Amino acid sequence: MILKKIKNRLARKRRIRGRVCGTAECPRMSVYRSLTGIYVQIIDDNSGKTLVSASTKEQKKGKNEEAAKSLGKLIAEKSKKLNVEKVVFDRNAYKYHGRVKALADAAREGGLKF
């Protein structure tokens, strides 16, 4: 059962990554969700470099939706300092609800365009 869940998740991830690619003008915003926190990176896939990163660990917040909202605002502020306003959202095989949706909505409110 667990092996099947992992295989299905990896298949979803490969399918999404096949469609989503970040460039220098419009980098990819990748979300990773763990049991203890949420991590976000803005990545330029052409050069293979992470431009901006943030996590709930660095802001000493929890792992719930409130922490995701504040993380979305934080990543939007950091990316604006580098003049990145337009990104491609990579939900990383997670469903678009709960913490992932709260993070995306807060990033949009912070000024990022998906």
Separation CA 19–CA 114 (nearest Å) = 15
- Distance from the first to the final alpha carbon of the chain: 35
| Residue 1, pLDDT above cutoff 80 | no
Q: What share of the chain is helix, strand, coil (3-state, %, to 5)?
A: 40, 20, 40
Task: For each of the domains in the chain, give its residue range(s) and CATH number, in order of start.
Answer: 2-109 (3.30.420.100)
The string of pLDDT tens digits covering residues 24-52 is: 888 999 999 988 899 999 999 889 899 99
Please report the pLDDT score of residue 20 as a whole number: 80
DSSP at 88: E
Please report the pLDDT score of residue 16 as a whole number: 83
The string of pLDDT tens digits covering residues 46-102 is: 898 999 999 998 887 777 899 999 999 999 999 999 999 999 998 888 889 999 999
Tell me whether strands 28-33 and 38-44 are parallel, antiparallel or unpaired: antiparallel
